[in-house]
Every structure is written in structure tokens, then in C-alpha cells.
Chain A
Amino acid sequence: MPDGWDVVIGMEVHVQPRTRTKMFCGCAVAPLNAAPNSYVCEICLGLPGTLPVINKAAVEACLKSALALSCEIPRHTKFDRKNYMYPDLPKGYQISQYDLPMSVNGHLELNGRKIRIRRVHLEEDTGKLVHAGDKLHKAWESFVDLNRAGVPLMEIVTEPDLRSADEARDYAMELRTLLRMIGVSEADMEKGQLRAEANVSVNREGSSELGVKTELKNINSFRALHRAILYEVDRQTKLIESGGAVEQETRGWSEAEQRTFSQRSKEFAEDYRYFPEPDLPPLEIDPDWVEDLRRTLPELPGARRTRLTSQHGLSAAQVAVIGGDRDLADLYEGAVAQGAPTQPTANWIVNEVAPTGKLLAPQHLAELMQMMGRDAISRDQAREVMPIQRPWPTTEAGRSRRCRH
């Protein structure tokens, strides 16, 4: 980050939990490339006289995510209407959560530092707009596909605790690892299942006065997130150094031009007139329910990494690969439990399993590693005979992905 400047970043990440149906209606969640408006019903089309009903699986996914992020889960929560007129939501409002979110005050540990999580709440996704005409400036008409309208989304909001583009990217990646590991989402950015927005501001080093922030959107990869923040920090510092002032605004990331651009001016001052959703009774979160969900959580990535380091003596690079994926970590620990040597096995998983996607059974890997240890077979031969038990990834999310598409 630039000399003489402090960078302050807060993140808002939207994650689509792995559910079969939408947030408030029984429509199946559409597969990618489904025909437009073929996964819709009276409720998600916002037709008059329809009523929403909350999807229990989405609530549970949100609560599990909140628990994995060490959040507090208040007993009472409710949904609110966020009003805005835009054709991507035909009701004229989005059902979201305003002042009583599902969970608050958590944190995610990142490289030994706690990044505070302000809240994790549930809401519904919007439809997709396609603009015809000159892409950026002169759309002649717009087309609406409402397959995504009403799909559940968890919104995970940090405090402004991130200090660099690297850290923001690492946070988003760690969040993805965590959510995949607890099985609540595939969290695939390219499929739009994880969408990151960054609030970025800069101030003179050591100054207690926070700078004016801009909100970065349209980011569809971790690399784009990193580049968008680097670009924005550079733009803001140069602007201030040349006597200008940063304007509070939403800026999009243009992948083609590798720059951020102003998306929404102040004229569209955000006034969403939030009010409690009258069509949904409040939710009462029973502490017993929360405890039941807590018991279903697997060991979290942080704890697992610590064990891989302290018990097995793996290097940071090995832990980064093996500890970041439940299947690989299970394979490693399973093989070692059956007598496979720690270091060669870790290296084999990092070099031969992770890149190829060929997952094998722990006992087979243990046998293979022991045979190689005795020089009974060469590395090439081992690669040749490596019995693939199943393709990888094989997490529930990965499996359902293959079923659905």
C-alpha cells in the first residue's frame, strides 16, 4: 500500500446458501443457463395477493455460517422491506433484514488477526437485467429474467478492519474456505454464488480522521477484487494529493479496462424506506435449535490448520493447500492414521492430488506412500496406479453442483 497513507477497507459479501428452493417460495433454484423466466412462480414474480413463506434450510445455513463466524445469535429476528423501484425485483422492494439481523458481532481469524464481523443476515436475490444497445451509455431497452429473483442470499458484513488489497482478498478467500467447509454453500465466485463488495477509503498515515469511502461493485473474481482495490487506493490517494476530494459513491469494476468507474451519482441518494415486512411474522430463534446446529458443524479451518501445523509439523505452504479443503484434510489425516508418513504424504497431496482433482481413498494413499517408502514402486508408477476413488471436489456442495447441471 502507498507510503504515507493508511487504507481502510470493509467488506460486504453476498453468498448464496445451498438450498433446493428459493427464499420465500417453492421455486427450485435455477441451474446456470436455464431458460429465462422458467424458474418462477406467482410469489417471486410479485403478483398481487401472494404471500412469502420462509425457507427453513436458508435460515439454518445462515445460522450455521453465523456460528462458524463466532457471531451472537439474538433470540428475536425479523425481515424488513427495502423499497426501491427497479425492474430486477418486480415487487418494488427486496425482503431483507434491517435492525434485527439474524446474527451480530462475530469475527473471522485471518493470519492471526481477528477481522470483526458486524452481521450476517438473510435476504433475497434480484433478477437479472440485460441491456441492449451501447453497453455502457446508451441502452435502448432492457430485458428481465427473474429466475434469480427470490433466491436466498446471506449477507456477511465486516467492520472496516481490513488494511490492504491483499488482506481483503485473503479475507474473501478464507470466508469461501470456511463456508465450503461447513457445507452451507459452494461459494463459487464465477457462478455468482459469492459476490464481494469492498468499501475503500484512504487517510494520511496516523491520522485519526477517516477518509471518504467508495463502494466497489461488479467484482467477479478474487483477482478482480485485489486489482479493483489497488486501483481505487491509487486513484483516491492521487486525487487527494492533487488537491481534489473523494466523492462518496458506488463504483463498478471494469474488467476490460482494469479500472473503477462511477456508477451511481448522489442524485440517487439511497433512501430505502425500510419497514418491517408485514407479510412475515417475526422469527423466534430457539437456543436449543442453535445448539443443535452448532453440533452439526465440522472442525473449522482455523482449528484444523493449527492441528496440521502443531501435530503433524506441516509447513505453512502445505497447510495452505491441505487445511483449506475438507476432502484433502480428511484424506491426509485418514492416510496418516493408517500409517502413511507425514511429510511425503503431505507433499503427495499438494503435488499430485490437489492439482489433478483425483481423490483416492485414505487407505489406498497410505499403502501407496508405504510402497514408495520401501522403494517398491517409483513415483511415476505410483502416479500411474493411483486408484481414483471418486472425482474431486466431493463435498456435498460439489456433488449437488454436478447433479444440478
Chain B
Amino acid sequence: MLARLGLEPGEEEFYSEQLSSILEHIDRLQQLDTETIAPTAQVVEVSNPLREDVPRPGLTQEDALANAPAAVNGMFRVPSIQEET
């Protein structure tokens, strides 16, 4: 996704600085000693937020396809996908 962001001329430096500082921060996190800490997938202390099985309106087909680069007959069109080898 990031790779697809379009940058205006002149913005390159601004964003390269931002990106560098993010990477530096990650480097810093890597230095922490986590040997004794159990893997943590969740820090939010909520469990079981379940939803009742009741339908609610979604998007129309037109809205669903509105931002698609290409659509044909109500379907998203994507480059050829081949499973066969």
C-alpha cells in the first residue's frame, strides 16, 4: 500500500526523513530485552465483544465499485490470475 502512494515533487525529502525516524524507532525497540515477557498479541483488556447475527445495510454495487481501477459487469477486474503451472 505504501509503495502506491503518489508523492508530489519536493515531498520526497519530507517523507524520507519521517520514514527514517520511524525505522530508527523500530531499531531502538529491537534493543529491548523481551526474554522474560510472554508474547503479547493484545493490550486491550476487552474480551468477547460479540455481535448479534442481525443484518445491516452495506454498500450498493455502484458504491462498492466506485473506487475500483477497473470494473466490468458488476465485478472488479484484476490482472490475469493463474494458478495453473
Residue ranges of A at the interface with B (Cβ–Cβ < 8 Å): 19-21, 25-28, 35-42, 44-45, 48, 53-59, 78, 86-87, 129-131, 133, 136-137, 139-146, 262-265, 267, 275-278, 281-284
Which residues of B are found within 8 Å of A145, using beta-carbon distances? 74-75
Which residues of A are found within 8 Å of B75, using beta-carbon distances? 36-37, 130, 143-145
Q: Answer whether A278 and B41 are a contact pair too, CB < 8 Å, given A26-B51, A56-B51, A141-B80.
A: yes
Shortest Cβ distance from B45 into A: residue? A281
Q: Answer whether A36 and B83 are a contact pair too, CB < 8 Å, given A55-B50, A276-B41, A278-B41.
A: no
Contact B79 A144 (CB under 8 A): no
Within 8 A of A (CB), among B37-55: 41-42, 44, 46-55
What would 21 A/B residue contacts be, using CB atoms closer than 8 Å? A19-B53, A20-B54, A26-B54, A27-B58, A28-B55, A36-B74, A41-B58, A53-B50, A54-B50, A87-B81, A133-B80, A141-B79, A142-B77, A143-B77, A144-B75, A144-B78, A146-B64, A264-B85, A281-B46, A281-B47, A283-B47
Cβ-neighbour of B81 out of A21, A26, A129 (below 8 A): A129
Task: Return the 4 tightest CB-CB contacts between A and B, nearest first.
Answer: A276-B41, A41-B58, A57-B53, A26-B56
Shortest Cβ distance from A139 into B: residue? B80
- Residue from B44, B78, B80, B84 having most chain A Cβ neighbours under 10 A: B84
- A42-B59, A143-B76 known, 16 other contacts, Cβ within 8 Å: A26-B56, A39-B58, A53-B51, A54-B51, A57-B52, A57-B53, A78-B41, A139-B81, A141-B78, A142-B78, A142-B81, A144-B75, A264-B83, A276-B42, A281-B46, A284-B48
Q: In the bound complex, what is the Cα–Cα distance between A37 and B64 (angstroms)?
A: 7
Contact A40 B58 (CB under 8 A): yes
Shortest Cβ distance from B51 into A: residue? A53
Contact A27 B55 (CB under 8 A): yes
Contact A55 B80 (CB under 8 A): no
Which residues of A are found within 8 Å of B55, using beta-carbon distances? 20-21, 26-28
Which residues of B are found within 8 Å of A78, using beta-carbon distances? 41
Cβ-neighbour of A37 out of B1, B61, B80 (below 8 A): B61
Contact B54 A21 (CB under 8 A): yes
Which residues of A are found within 8 Å of B52, using beta-carbon distances? 56-57
Shortest Cβ distance from B1 into A: residue? A48
Cβ-neighbour of B53 out of A20, A40, A141 (below 8 A): A20
Q: In the bound complex, what is the Cα–Cα distance between A264 and B44 (angstroms)?
A: 40
A31 CB, nearest partner CB in chain B, Å = 12
B82 interface hit (Cβ, 8 Å): yes
- Residue from B44, B53, B81 having most chain A Cβ neighbours under 10 A: B53
Which residues of B are found within 8 Å of A56, using beta-carbon distances? 50-53
B34 interface hit (Cβ, 8 Å): no
B45 CB, nearest partner CB in chain A, Å = 8
Q: Answer whether A143 and B80 are a contact pair too, CB < 8 Å, given A21-B54, A27-B55, A284-B48.
A: no
B60 interface hit (Cβ, 8 Å): yes
Cβ-neighbour of A136 out of B49, B53, B84 (below 8 A): B84
Contact A142 B79 (CB under 8 A): yes
Contact B51 A55 (CB under 8 A): yes
Contact A59 B74 (CB under 8 A): no
